[in-house]
Structure 1
Amino acid sequence: MLWEEKDELIILNVPTEFSFTQNLRYLMRSTNECMFHIYDNKVRKAIPIDEYTALVEIRELDDYSLIIEFLGDTRPKSKATRERVVAYIIEWFDLKTELKVFYEVAKNDALLKQATIEFMGLRIMGIPDLFEAMVWGILGQQINLAYAYTLKRRLVEKFGRSVKFEGQQYWVFPTPSDIAKLALEDLVDLKMTVKKCEYLIEVASLIDMGLLNKKMLLDTNDLKEAEKVLTKIRGIGPWTANYVLMRCLRFPSAFPIDDVGLHNAIKHVTGSEQKPLRDEIQKLSIPWKGWEAYATFYLWRLLY
């Protein structure tokens, strides 16, 4: 992905099949989001690079490029660190994925056609940090989306760190070491189930001890193998595993087939009053092979 520095700004080229507007609209789906702030068609986010925190503002320059500006005194002096910030943004917006083939598939697919016309240029907005992705997956289990955002805010504001700019706090997600050292009673104020608290601490401990990381999962180079690694962890079932593989590891075939939102989206498109059976979804998804993650994300977008 090409980018260049002009004065103290970074100009980042984007693919043809990319809409900054569509992605901002997706990011704005909850008013209770605590990991970034959006206003005037710009998004501001604190990006952690090891112990350093860069606060960036991202806005559109034109249809082909974005402007990245470091706010306050957070511009890294090291070019290597600035490169890592840009790499994070590229991964966050999934800018390396070529969507032409997906759109060709969707053009002739009864389920996907409407969603891709309506949200053309939308990317799977990622969660580059493995721990954050796994925690978000755990928090979202068996509760509605609104309450999941509330739990995330409580966790982040209690155990994360932040930078302040123009009176606004920008939060960084807690690290695995922040959570691994906690006892269950430390999480009582979050008001989540005891099981979820246990899962958070166990996942944090695995990552903190180096027993689980992104490289390990990516090195499997196989969706089913990576899924097996994740589902061996207590509290991580197939849905959570595929959610993480989709949003963090970028496996294009990741497919949370049992997701209620996916079922509701299919009902919405087909006009059916019945929840689709697993066998039906497997048949409907045959044309999506290799694009199951994007197909799921676009169908979700019809509802959320």
Structure 2
Amino acid sequence: MNWTDGQSFITIHPPDPFSFDECLIFLGRNDREILHTISDGCLMKLVRLNGELILIKVQSVNDSLKVEFLNGIPSEAAREKAVEYIWEWFDLDTDLSHFYKWGSDDPVLSELIRRYTGLRMIAIHDLFEALVWAVLGQQINLTFAYTLKKRLVEAYGEKLTIHGETYWLFPPFEEIALLGEADLRKLQITGRKAAYIIGIAAAMKDGRLTKESLRKLDEQQARKALLQYKGIGAWTADYVMMKCFHVKTSFPIADVGLQNALKAAMGYERKPKLEEMESFSHKWEGWQGYAAFYLWRSLYDEAI
């Protein structure tokens, strides 16, 4: 990790290719997002690092990322954690040049690579947040999923208000594990999803399910471990493996958005069938996750 420490700020030097603007487009895809804000090319997010509550402001300056700390100077250990957080958030360990060279002759990926050069797979660091977000999004449209997440965060998340602006943390699994299904149904979360979310929170609270334990497994073992829990099906497991663990081989073939993006990219009159999705997955072996992420990005062009 290449960075310099200014105490009240840090400067991170991402590897090429990297486009902060492209990452902001993906992060800004819905105005109901509550866990970060974007204004004038700056990204604001509340995080807890090394036990410290920190409000960060991220912007691109001379091809580097300047990360300012807006609520005081964190400890040296927390500043180092901030570097790790940003590095993982934007998947800066991945050498995108390999993906671009590999996909340069592919009729679908070559055009996406040209349009979105520098876009990286944006992470959801917290396993509980990733799982809950995936469960909330099952069988509903994206806008309503954001609405449900906003209600959940405002009801049970921690907040910090500075200069009249309020910033939020995702609720911890320890708190959600103590709730009853009726508590979540008040937010218009269905009874079934409420049971799933509370069950996942309970598994994390008692230590059965942790990010650290999953990291010790290979990809197939980790996926199998996730599938043991109610509410985590194939799509949810693949999504979480992509977003929380940056697994490059995850490809959620049943994802409607992915199917729609491929339909548009291929000029189809209909969405691809399951066997066609499997064929694409095999064709893109090794980089399925990035292929999916770039296809998802293509869905937002009409809104820009």
Q: TM-score, normalised by structure 2?
A: 0.96
Equivalent position to 1:125, from 111, 122, 125? 122
SS at match of 1:146: helix
Residue aligning to 1:53: 53
Residue aligning to 1:224: 220
Q: Deviations over 1:28-85 (max 9, x none)?
A: 111111001111111010011264210000011112x111110023x31x21122112
Q: By how many angstroms is 1:7 displaced?
A: 4.9
Q: Compute the RMSD of aligned alpha carbons.
A: 1.2
Residue aligning to 2:271: 275
Residue aligning to 1:250: 246
Counterpart Cα distance in 2 of 1:184 and 1:257: 30
Conservation of the 8 A alpha-carbon contact between 1:105 and 1:288:
no
SS at match of 2:101: helix
Q: By how many angstroms is 1:186 displaced?
A: 1.4
Residue aligning to 2:65: 66
Q: By how many angstroms is 1:271 displaced?
A: 1.1
Runs of 4+ in 1 over 3 A off after TM superposition: none
Q: Deviations over 1:98-154 (max 9, x none)?
A: 111111122111111221111111111110000000000000000000000000000
Q: Deviations over 1:240-283 (max 9, x none)?
A: 00000000011111111111111111110111112212222222
Q: Which amino acid aligns with 2:265?
A: V
Counterpart Cα distance in 2 of 1:268 and 1:153: 30
Q: By how many angstroms is 1:288 displaced?
A: 1.6
% of aligned pairs identical? 43
Decide which moves more: 277-286 or 14-23. 277-286
Q: By how many angstroms is 1:298 displaced?
A: 0.3
Conservation of the 8 A alpha-carbon contact between 2:251 and 2:281:
no
Conservation of the 8 A alpha-carbon contact between 1:252 and 1:290:
yes
Residue aligning to 1:158: 155
SS at match of 1:190: coil
Q: Which amino acid aligns with 2:216?
A: D
Q: Deviations over 1:194-224 (max 9, x none)?
A: 0000011000111111111112111112x22
In structure 1, runs of 5+ residues without a counterpart are none
Residue aligning to 1:292: 288
In structure 2, runs of 5+ residues without a counterpart are none
SS at match of 1:274: coil
Counterpart Cα distance in 1 of 2:278 and 2:138: 23
Residue aligning to 1:29: 29
SS at match of 2:245: coil
Counterpart Cα distance in 2 of 1:51 and 1:218: 22
- Distance change (3 Å), C-alpha of 1:4 and 1:190: same
Conservation of the 8 A alpha-carbon contact between 2:10 and 2:79:
no
Q: TM-score, normalised by structure 1?
A: 0.96
Counterpart Cα distance in 2 of 1:7 and 1:126: 25
Equivalent position to 1:79, from 47, 69, 76? 76
Counterpart Cα distance in 2 of 1:189 and 1:278: 36
SS at match of 2:121: coil
Counterpart Cα distance in 1 of 2:129 and 2:33: 14
Conservation of the 8 A alpha-carbon contact between 1:55 and 1:70:
yes
Conservation of the 8 A alpha-carbon contact between 2:242 and 2:289:
yes
